[in-house]
Structure formats: structure tokens, C-alpha cells
Amino acid sequence: MECPECGANLTIPDDASVGEIISCPDCGADYEISKKDGSNVELKQAESVGEDWGE
Ligand SMILES: [Zn+2]
């Protein structure tokens, strides 16, 4: 699985389930598993809630 943002390799745990959040170790982007069918995993951009640090 590649990070759609920076192309880094994202590791999806075998037992990860739909709705889990995967963070890219490279750019820090958060993705939510929207679909999982065996080794076929689809990611969607996680809702960026609470990103307004230090306001
Ligand atoms: Zn990334």
C-alpha cells in the first residue's frame, strides 16, 4: 500500500479492519480503511478533526 500523499510505503496490519486509521510514517497523513477484501485495501482520507493546534 502506498501513501497517496507522498508515495511512502504504508504497512496495513493483517488484522486491520474497516474504519481503522493508518498514519503515514513519512508525511503524517491519516487514512481510514474504507474497504478491505483480503489483501485488497482501500483507503480514504481521514477526517481532519482537531488539527487546529495552538489556537
Ligand atoms: Zn505519506
CA of 46 to the centre of ligand 1 (A): 13
CA of 2 to the centre of ligand 1 (A): 8
Nine cell digits for residue 29: 497523513
Domain range for 26? 1-47
CA of 5 to the centre of ligand 1 (A): 5
- Give CA separation, 37 vs 28, 41, 44, in Å: 25, 6, 15
CA of 54 to the centre of ligand 1 (A): 23
Torsion sign across C-alpha atoms 4, 31, 9, 26: positive
pLDDT at position 10 over 70: yes
pLDDT of the residue at 50: 61
3 in a structural domain: yes
- pLDDT tens sequence across 14-55: 899 999 999 999 999 999 999 999 888 999 998 766 666 665
CATH number for the domain spanning 42: value is: 2.20.28.160
54 in a structural domain: no
CA of 23 to the centre of ligand 1 (A): 8
5 in a structural domain: yes
Domain count, the chain: 1
